[in-house]
Structure 1
Amino acid sequence: MARNAPVAPGSVTAALAHDRLGIPSVAYFVLAGVAPLTVTAGVVTTAYAITGVTSIPAAFILVAIVLCVFSVGYVAMSRHISNAGAFYAFISRGLGREAGVAGALIALVAYNLLQVGLYGMFGPTLEAFIQQKANVDIKWWIYALAAWAVVTVLGLVRVDLSGKVLGVLLTVELIVIVALSIYGGVHPAGNHVSFHTLNPSDLTKGGIGAALAVAVLGYVGFEQSPVYAEEAKNAKRTIPVATYLSLILIMVVYAGASWVMAEHYGDSKIASVAGQQGPGTLFGMGNDFLNNAGQVLFMTSLFAAALAFHNACWRYAFSLGREQVLPVTLGRTGANGVPKFASAVQSAIGLAAIVIYAIGGWNPMTDLFFWLGTTGGFGILILLALTSAAVIVYFARNPGGENIWRRLIAPAISAVLLVIMVYLVANNFSTLLGYTSPSVAGKILPSLFVVAAVVGVGWALYLRADRPDTYAVIGLGPEAATGQSASVGELAEENV
């Protein structure tokens, strides 16, 4: 098969816009992907309701510690490798090209599931809100299509414009979460304050697998900061600071809000209240103004997350297109530095999902948002574990001035802990989907990533045999387009 025409060295189509994103913009994109209000109102209450474990705040703290250890090697590697498809590049350069393409397809599947799944929550939530406030009955998919249209437009314009939109939404969102937490915290159940839920010992009494799994899923999105390295100002400083800043802020918000919920409703009642009220468990802690503001911002949080994951999707498609692993048109950018075709493809996937679910009459809250979102989060967890292993192998060949803590000890610790978490999530997948016993969906949905990995490895082996030039630049990122190959020797070692 003939190889696609190469992208010209130095062409505007070969790279993203440089020096455009500072620490605040990168942090905003990361926080939007995490969707703090969506997690605080949705995931936290689900954790209480499903597990019955009261130490959910402790679970969020423990998971944050694990992810901070993971980030040590992760951001260290980002100083050596700059690529819009961070997982793809890191795994390729560490574990080899076959593993890298497999990781890239896992990432594409995971982020697309996360992105399109959000429309399944946004549409019905806005439908119920408008119906309650204005007594107007409009189908959920119309609202979902409206959100899709705005995300599509913002996904085609300057990335810093999207960053400013996210900045405004996230700032107000965090203020409301803090306000609700303070308001609920000054009205504890029985006028008694306890720190029992911050004690991790309760996690060992049962439900630890589901509790940690839900907590892990709450952090999905934090890993996106290296994805913006090519566009960041002073990336070697911006990316690490944005990563740790986001993690710490998220941990404080999650642990604080979940602790306050247990205090406000009572340790013994929080599980039943969460099961009955869902997101209303958080909003009900405030006065009428905060309650209404929380509901509105819950919807903007979903929108912000959809925009952030849209950007993450086209970045991975762009990375694979630039290196011609996927069609080269995906790797071409316009004058504003945005790969418009890759963005349009992701928009088409979102549109197809909304239309299919609308025509099929399927439940968007469970079958679209909950199922696909949970599955996408599991895919990201798999990538975190693979990346930890890749960091160890990469720095074993290329120490690059990194100390032993960053290149070996921290990545090894995180690799072990993340593999355990992958097992816990897989073992509790049916529970996460809302089943009380093993289910067909609980087996099929996680298997999507096995299929993606097999296809990725097979495609890489095909490229190796039929298109060796393409195979040779897998994972090189900008160097694949410019022809610079300072790491040719390093890449050759991958197959030894």
Structure 2
Amino acid sequence: MVDEAIGTGRSSTGGGAPAGTATQSLSRRRIGVPDIVFFVVAASSPLTVAAGGMPLSYATTGVAGIPLIILVLASVLALFSVGYAAMSRHISNAGAFYAYIAQGLGRIPGVGASFVAVVAYNAMQVGLYGLFGFAASGLISAKLGVEVPWWAASLAALAVIGFLGYRRVDLNAKVLAVLLICESLIVLVFDVSQVAAAPDGLSLQPFSWDAMTTGAVGAAFCWVMASFMGFESGAIYSEECRDPRRTVSRATYIAVALIGVFYAFTAWAMAMGAGTGQIIDEAGKSGTDLVFVLGEKTLGSGFASMAQVFLVTAVFAALLSFHNAVARYFYALGREGVLPRVLGTSHALHGSPAAGSLTQTTFAALVVLGFGLLGGDPTGTLFNWFTNLGALGVILLLVVTSVAVIGFFRRDGRGEGGWSRRVAPVLSAAALGVILVLALINFNALLGTPPGSVLNWLIPGIVVFAGIVGLVYGAWLKARDPRTFARIGHGGEVRESA
């Protein structure tokens, strides 16, 4: 039994080590609430959701009440955020889910969760390169008449993202702020134009119970849940924000509220623009071109051209946000010895998780090159399969984290009220558990595969397999390397083994 601090090589200024040397400390007090909100909302990508997720959710499910489903899910995620925010006031760790589950349920479950998180966030990030490459190469071809392979466009973006991820977190936040504001303004202009020119007038029917419960409701919840992916990533930056006890919780609440209200309004505006009762048919005919088709009617051809440009930058912003999240997971796991310790080093000047950033960049490059050389489908395979794999893993982590909140506060309330440490986590665990089951049952609707396809169980199986491997590895660490096992989930501190 040991209870000692492990030297982390931190300097008092958070990143002031001599040039050319690596440290084990991220830059301190670099970012505040707005910066984390930019990271979180950029990951969900408003324009990508409006152009892709919403039309497909209408078309494939036949549910006209998508706006109401968005608000329902926002409420569920707000419930989750209550316990999540309470944990963030007591745990400051770049591993987020991993650290919360390790300290709430035990170190072995924490390692299992860490493997699921690494697989899920890497899958989300790499899958987005397929969409980026497809959109960027199509834009270049349409505007410049030059044919560029999708994978070449993706690799160009990858190089820029790798450069930014290697540098200071506040630089990344500034880039995301600019890109997010631009894409959000584009979506807002579209929304207002659809409401102003609604051919059948305005109606609140999409917010009715009948509209929400007609069609493949389970699949609709799965589609909408994918639109919120990234909302939980605020805690990943807890070691780099100015006031961890307040910043993460405030940023998470603000992000959930912004995403919920903005997306519900956009989905409703889209339905109004298509005509009352016509949104499902219009989405089925136009698919992911629906935003451009409706926008061109009300705003002219210039809007469609501008929206195509900002769709590319929107996906770039999401890529950058997920890259930063993955790099910090690698850093947290390397620092504590769960993964190779070299991953736990940070840049001496920038205070960035440099080794984790380089590792993620290398992995993404290999996958993109592999798909490109083998002639893989960038959207139907790389984007669709990988992002749905990632979304399923994140939903599983949300459920387990809700339970971990209860475990963390079970013996010591740490000044938190019963609502934060018991009631809200129980409700969110139940609601998110239902969503997880619905996602599994309706997984073929997300992939667009027939009910009997092997992919319907193979892709969810990857998430389960990652968790099992993590649990086995955690048990092995407990038996063979107690010193490393004691660090798990504690940000470099060695505590009494669980």
TM-score normalized by the length of structure 1: 0.94
Question: Contact (CA 8 Å) 1:34, 1:219: kept in 2 or not?
Answer: yes
CA deviation after TM superposition for structure 1 residue 7, in Å: 5.3
Aligned to 2:20: none
The alignment partner of 1:422 has SS state of helix
The alignment partner of 2:311 has SS state of helix
Separation of aligned partners in 2, 1:436 and 1:276: 21
CA deviation after TM superposition for structure 1 residue 202, in Å: 2.7
- Confirm whether residue 118 of structure 1 aligns to residue 128 of structure 2: yes
Aligned to 2:62: 52
Deviations 1:435-470 (A, max 9, x none): 242321111001111111111011111111110000
Residue 341 of structure 2 is aligned with which of 328, 336, 340?
Answer: 328
Separation of aligned partners in 1, 2:53 and 2:276: 18
The alignment partner of 1:374 has SS state of helix
Question: Contact (CA 8 Å) 2:64, 2:214: kept in 1 or not?
Answer: no
Residue 141 of structure 1 is aligned with which of 151, 160, 163?
Answer: 151
Q: Which amino acid aligns with 1:148?
A: L
CA deviation after TM superposition for structure 1 residue 251, in Å: 1.0
Separation of aligned partners in 1, 2:253 and 2:160: 30
Which stretch shows the higher mean deviation, 48-57 or 260-269? 260-269
RMSD between aligned alpha carbons? Answer: 1.4
- Confirm whether residue 172 of structure 1 aligns to residue 182 of structure 2: yes
Aligned to 1:361: 375
Separation of aligned partners in 2, 1:71 and 1:115: 23
- Confirm whether residue 94 of structure 1 aligns to residue 111 of structure 2: no
Aligned to 2:305: 292
CA deviation after TM superposition for structure 1 residue 173, in Å: 1.0
Separation of aligned partners in 2, 1:8 and 1:227: 19
Separation of aligned partners in 1, 2:34 and 2:308: 25
Question: Contact (CA 8 Å) 1:213, 1:424: kept in 2 or not?
Answer: yes
Separation of aligned partners in 2, 1:133 and 1:276: 25
Question: Contact (CA 8 Å) 2:65, 2:213: kept in 1 or not?
Answer: no
Aligned to 1:187: 197
Residue 351 of structure 1 is aligned with which of 365, 368, 375?
Answer: 365
Residue 317 of structure 2 is aligned with which of 288, 292, 304?
Answer: 304
CA deviation after TM superposition for structure 1 residue 290, in Å: 2.4
Separation of aligned partners in 2, 1:97 and 1:33: 28
The alignment partner of 1:98 has SS state of helix
Distance 1:432 1:8, change over 3 A: closer
Aligned to 2:71: 61
Residue 212 of structure 2 is aligned with which of 199, 203, 208?
Answer: 203
The alignment partner of 1:247 has SS state of helix
Question: Contact (CA 8 Å) 1:34, 1:222: kept in 2 or not?
Answer: yes
Aligned to 1:109: 119
Q: Which amino acid aligns with 1:165?
A: V
Distance 1:54 1:387, change over 3 A: same
Residue 418 of structure 1 is aligned with which of 432, 450, 453?
Answer: 432
Q: Which amino acid aligns with 2:173?
A: G
Which stretch shows the higher mean deviation, 34-43 or 86-95? 34-43
- Confirm whether residue 377 of structure 1 aligns to residue 387 of structure 2: no
Alignment map for 1:335-346 (pairs within 5 Å): 335=348, 336-346=350-360
The alignment partner of 1:338 has SS state of coil
Question: Contact (CA 8 Å) 2:206, 2:212: kept in 1 or not?
Answer: no
CA deviation after TM superposition for structure 1 residue 195, in Å: 0.7
Identity %, equivalent residues: 40
CA deviation after TM superposition for structure 1 residue 275, in Å: 2.5
Residue 414 of structure 2 is aligned with which of 400, 423, 448?
Answer: 400
Aligned to 2:18: none
Residue 249 of structure 2 is aligned with which of 208, 230, 240?
Answer: 240
Aligned to 1:463: 477
Question: Contact (CA 8 Å) 2:125, 2:319: kept in 1 or not?
Answer: yes
Separation of aligned partners in 2, 1:110 and 1:420: 20
Q: Which amino acid aligns with 1:303?
A: F
Structure 1 unmatched runs, 5+:
1-5
Deviations 1:219-244 (A, max 9, x none): 01000011111101112221111111
Separation of aligned partners in 1, 2:180 and 2:209: 30
The alignment partner of 1:27 has SS state of helix
Question: Contact (CA 8 Å) 1:7, 1:322: kept in 2 or not?
Answer: no
- Confirm whether residue 215 of structure 1 aligns to residue 224 of structure 2: yes
Aligned to 1:20: 30
Question: Contact (CA 8 Å) 2:388, 2:446: kept in 1 or not?
Answer: yes
CA deviation after TM superposition for structure 1 residue 9, in Å: 5.2
Aligned to 1:318: 331
Q: Which amino acid aligns with 1:214?
A: W
- Confirm whether residue 256 of structure 1 aligns to residue 269 of structure 2: no
CA deviation after TM superposition for structure 1 residue 272, in Å: 2.5
Separation of aligned partners in 2, 1:449 and 1:7: 34
Deviations 1:169-206 (A, max 9, x none): 0011111111000011111123x211100113333233
Separation of aligned partners in 2, 1:85 and 1:275: 41
The alignment partner of 1:121 has SS state of helix
- Confirm whether residue 472 of structure 1 aligns to residue 482 of structure 2: no
Separation of aligned partners in 2, 1:344 and 1:115: 14
Q: Which amino acid aligns with 2:108?
A: E
Which stretch shows the higher mean deviation, 382-391 or 204-213? 204-213
Which stretch shows the higher mean deviation, 63-72 or 130-139? 130-139
Question: Contact (CA 8 Å) 1:180, 1:283: kept in 2 or not?
Answer: no
Question: Contact (CA 8 Å) 1:16, 1:230: kept in 2 or not?
Answer: yes
TM-score normalized by the length of structure 2: 0.94
Aligned to 2:44: 34
Which stretch shows the higher mean deviation, 261-270 or 84-93? 261-270
Distance 1:159 1:10, change over 3 A: closer
Aligned to 1:268: 277
